[in-house]
Amino acid sequence: MNAKSGVSTLRRRRMDGWRWGGRIFLLFMLIYTAVPMVWMLLTSIKSGFAAMAFPPEWWPSEPTLASYRNLLDPENSVGRDFLRFFWNSLVVSTLTTILAVLVAVPAAYAFSRFRFPGRRFLFFSVLLRNMFPAVIFLVPLFILMRFLGLVNTHGSLVLTYLTFGLPLAIWLLKGFYDNIPVQLEQAARIDGATRLQAFVLIVMPLSVPGIIATAIYSFIGAWNEYIYAYTFLSKNEQLTLPVGVQRFFSENTTDFPGLMAASFMMSVPVVVLFLVLQKYFVRALTEGAVKH
């Protein structure tokens, strides 16, 4: 008993050590990711002089919201441009998300449930695009969009973002559908439901976490993308937020509070979206909807 008690105590200490090590690591990662956001927020409420002070002023002695008022005021050119860029990013990201879900859901279900010639080859062909960095497709896609007459339109960005987002979305949802027992659909078919009804009424509700995770991934990817938006769009009224902020503030490099305010406001929708829906995202990446 003493030997067994000693072994269990040693194991318990090792587990406690791993737990504390994990907590310290998570704390370090939290600080690493949160400090830039905090510094960005603090800089955005400083005056231009305070933002340029050296040594830096960690906490503003006279905080001001002038930069935010300037960005959100449609009566001046800065506010009009920023709100237009924000709206353009929102439209492109929302359309990309909706189309990604509409295409990925039936495609992933087909790969999961149906058996057809070339199924495995086609599935891995879809994933093949993710083996290459996105930038190598820049010139071919630009030539294609110019041929289609989509340069300087938001449609070029939506199609491009679908090209990059769909492979992972399909792979993620296929794994989710694989974890849903096919017997549930068979039972619904026996009760008189068609395959479409079984899919809509049985499979879709169970796959909500996976669909939400796909939507989050698609939205964040489209919202943050810069290189293709910079290449495909040249008209000021068509620019998305990453390109618009960069182009505007490149002419006013000393306005660090304004730049930080714009960057902070650009990050808010993504942070809020992820915080609200994070439990679905984590569940989709770890557990799946139903376990066998």
Residue 56 is predicted with a pLDDT of: 75
Do the beta carbons of residue 64 and residue 88 sit within 8 Å? no
Amino acid, single-letter form, for residue 115: R
Do the beta carbons of residue 101 and residue 211 sit within 8 Å? yes
CA distances from 183 to 22, 157, 211, 238, 276 (A): 40, 41, 21, 49, 33
Residue 288 is predicted with a pLDDT of: 47
CA distances from 152 to 59, 97, 148, 240 (A): 42, 20, 11, 11
* pTM for the whole structure: 0.81
Q: Which residues lie below 8 Å from residue 183, measured CB to CB, with a gap of 6+?
A: none
Tell me the three state secondary structure of residue 289.
coil
Average pLDDT for runs of 10 along the chain of length 292 = 58 73 86 85 81 76 83 82 90 93 90 82 77 84 89 90 87 84 84 83 84 86 90 87 76 71 86 77 57 44
The DSSP secondary-structure symbol of 151 reads T
